[in-house]
Amino acid sequence: MNPLRIWVDADACPAVVKDILFRAADRCAVQVTLVANQMLRTPPSRWVNAVQVPRGFDVADAYIAGQAAEGDLVITGDIPLAAEVLKKGAAVLNPRGERYTEATIGERLAMRDMLEELRSSGVATGGPAAFSQADRRAFGNALDRFLQNAAAGRPRGTPPSA
């Protein structure tokens, strides 16, 4: 199996989540790659790098989907991207610490499509809640559980132990 890589859909990823990932990369010696259509600053680390893709609809998503492999971890809130990389055997975590799985992604896609349809017909659906301290903790905890499982040699797609 290839070494674990973490791919980050960085255009909409909160800075605090990136900071958590930067610290985890150095602590666990795991390659973290930020992908965005703009220039990103990364700390000086052999474990962190950034890829700037051309501007365009879903260009960063397509890059991540093309690069992510079985056993990798993808950080994204984009439901279609999550569905695509799950099919390849990658694990997916959103920036609020929610783990997307094969068992849950269908429902998330259906909800996303329904909300998109409502918005296009003029219904105000509201947006997500502001990113909170609880979201930050949930992400950090979920990332730690994933990395602990990976270090222990458990299959990366396996839900974390209780």
Position 154 scores a pLDDT of 55
* Residue whose structure tokens are 């290839």: 2
Q: Rounded mean pLDDT of 15-34?
A: 96
**Long-range contacts made by residues 57-66, C-beta under 8 angstroms, separation at least 24?**
60/9, 60/10, 60/11, 60/35, 60/36, 61/9, 63/35, 64/7, 64/9, 64/35
Question: For residue 41, is pLDDT > 70?
Answer: yes
Question: For residue 156, is pLDDT > 70?
Answer: no
Question: For residue 47, is pLDDT > 50?
Answer: yes
**Residue range 48-69, pLDDT digits in tens:** 999 999 998 899 999 999 999 9
Please provide the DSSP assignment of 29-91 as one string.
T-EEEEEESS-----S-TTEEEEEPPSSTTHHHHHHHHH--TT-EEE---HHHHHHHHHTT-E
pTM: 0.83
**Residue range 90-136, pLDDT digits in tens:** 999 999 999 999 878 767 766 766 667 766 777 776 667 788 999 99
Q: Please report, for residues 62, 95, 98, 114, 154, the alpha-carbon distance to residue 75 in angstroms, rounded to integers and kept in the order given.
A: 14, 7, 10, 23, 20
> How high is the mean pLDDT of the chain?
87
The residue type of 141 is N
